[in-house]
């Protein structure tokens, strides 16, 4: 085998060589990618297509399609299913509305807290310890996070830390996850607590990548700490912030475990989100309707991920 024909990572094989190289190596490539490709086709691509097909039908308990109903599952979702989307309430309610609430609050809070902690921790000697404390929840299961926070939110002030805290100021204890008006915020904050570490680690790594000399020069010129952050660090962080935002948004569209364990979508469906609704409908034997909900979920993820993948084609960032 001549060494000039060795394919490289970036350079594509030049046109005329391609067939010769393929004869020598193509079948070997198939051995290497074959198993992965087979699993991806059988277990992701084919089921995805099947799910799209299912979404146009009604299924029986054995998950076989018994009737084709066109787009009815979709119209049902957006017009007739009050637990998915209820525009008659003001403000609107339902799983989709809750997901939007999650997307806005969870994403911005995780990002802001992550940035704040990264910036503050960089100014003290115990930075590594602080970052570990905030990062640890990233490693633990959302199921465990749900149990941890359910205990924090316990209505009885001698059990729940939060109610113990507020009652010490004379306030009445609040059933944080048992009330329709507080349950979503209680859940969102618990998940922010679990995810802030991710935002913090990525943004902290990016902050460290900013040249010390630039910051020193600005400081010598009399720039304030806030000015340095606002005019130098923040603009250079825009790309990692975009990465984190995409990750958080995709994560929150898929959010399931935490809500399922902590409230199961309750009380009275007030904390339902798309992923929980999908599993509930699936459990009710509504295979076609559950499939349609999954399709909507993917349609929400695609534009966000497309942004991310396009970026990865052009450049590699962070880390």
Partner 1 sequence: MAVAQATVRPRETPSARILGFISRTPVHLGLLIVAVIWLVPTVGLAVTSFRPRGDIQASSWWSSLTEWSFTLHNYREVLNTANMDSAFVNSIMITVPSTLLPLALAAAAAYAFSWISFPFRDTIFLLIVALMVVPVQMALVPLLIIFRDLGIANWFGGIWLAHTAFGLPLGIFLLRNFFITLPRDLIEAARVDGASNLRIFLKVVLPLSVPALASFGIFQFLWVWNDLLMAFIFIQNGDLLPMTVRINQMQTTYGGEWHLLSAGAFLLMIVPLAVFFALQRYFVQGLLAGSVK
Q: Which of residues 229-268 bind partner 1 (CB under 8 A)?
A: 243-244, 246-247, 253-254, 256-257, 260-261
Residue (32 or 78) nearer to partner 1, CB: 32
Contact pattern from residue 10 through residue 29 relative to partner 1, giving x for each residue in contact according to CB under 8 A and a dash for the rest: x-xx----x--xx--xx-xx
The Cα–Cα gap between 200 and 203 comes to 5
Helix axes 95-121, 238-253, angle to 10 degrees: 140
Q: Which helix (H) or strand (E) holds 48?
A: helix 46-54
CA 79 to chain centre: 27
From the list 14, 11, 7, the residue with the least C-alpha distance to 29 is: 7
Q: Please report whether residue 48 would count as binding partner 1 according to CB under 8 A.
A: yes
Total residues binding partner 1 (CB under 8 A): 114
Q: Smallest Cα–Cα separation from 73: which of 90, 93, 53?
A: 53
CB of 151 to partner 1, least distance (A): 5
In the complex with partner 1, which residue's Cβ is closer, 46 or 92?
46
- Does 151 participate in binding partner 1 (rule CB under 8 A)? yes
Instruction: Compare residues 88 and 212 and give the one whose CB is closer to partner 1.
Output: 212
Measured between alpha carbons, how far is 51 from 287 in angstroms, rounded to an integer? 9
Question: Contact 131/200 with Cβ under 8 angstroms?
Answer: yes
- Collapsing DSSP to helix, strand or coil, 65 comes out as strand
Q: Write out the binding residues for partner 1, residues 163-202 only, by CB under 8 A.
A: 164, 193, 198, 201-202
CB of 83: closest distance to partner 1 in angstroms?
Answer: 17
Instruction: Choose one: 71-79, 86-94, 158-166, 176-184; the region binding partner 1 (CB under 8 A).
Output: 158-166
**122 counts as binding partner 1 under rule CB under 8 A:** yes
């Amino acid at each position: 085998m001549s060494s000039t024909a060795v394919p490289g990572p970036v350079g594509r094989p030049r046109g005329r060589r391609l067939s010769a190289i393929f004869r020598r190596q193509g079948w070997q490539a198939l051995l290497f990618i074959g198993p992965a490709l087979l699993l991806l086709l059988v277990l992701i691509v084919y089921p995805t297509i099947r799910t799209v097909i299912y979404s146009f039908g009604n299924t029986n308990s054995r998950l076989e399609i018994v009737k084709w109903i066109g787009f009815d599952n979709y119209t049902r979702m957006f017009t007739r299913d009050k637990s998915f989307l209820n525009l008659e309430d003001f403000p609107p309610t339902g799983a989709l509305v809750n997901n939007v609430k999650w997307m806005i609050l969870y994403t911005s809070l995780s990002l802001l807290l992550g940035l704040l902690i990264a910036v503050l921790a960089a100014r003290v000697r115990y930075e590594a310890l602080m970052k570990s404390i905030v990062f640890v929840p990233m490693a633990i299961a959302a199921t465990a996070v749900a149990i941890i926070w359910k205990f924090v939110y316990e209505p009885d002030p001698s059990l729940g830390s939060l109610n113990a805290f507020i009652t010490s100021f004379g306030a009445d204890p609040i059933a944080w996850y048992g009330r329709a008006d507080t349950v979503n915020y209680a859940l969102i904050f618990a998940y922010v607590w679990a995810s802030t570490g991710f935002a913090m680690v990525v943004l902290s790594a990016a902050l460290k990548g900013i040249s010390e000399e630039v910051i020193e020069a600005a400081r010598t010129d009399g720039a304030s700490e806030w000015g340095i952050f606002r005019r130098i660090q923040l603009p250079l962080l825009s790309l990692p912030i975009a990465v984190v935002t995409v990750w958080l948004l995709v994560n929150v569209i898929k959010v399931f475990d935490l809500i399922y364990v902590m409230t199961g979508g309750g009380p009275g469906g007030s904390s339902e989100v798309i992923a929980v609704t999908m599993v509930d409908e699936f459990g009710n034997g509504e295979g076609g309707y559950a499939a349609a909900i999954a399709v909507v979920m993917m349609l929400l993820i695609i534009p966000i991920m497309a942004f991310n993948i396009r970026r990865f084609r052009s450049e590699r960032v962070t880390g």
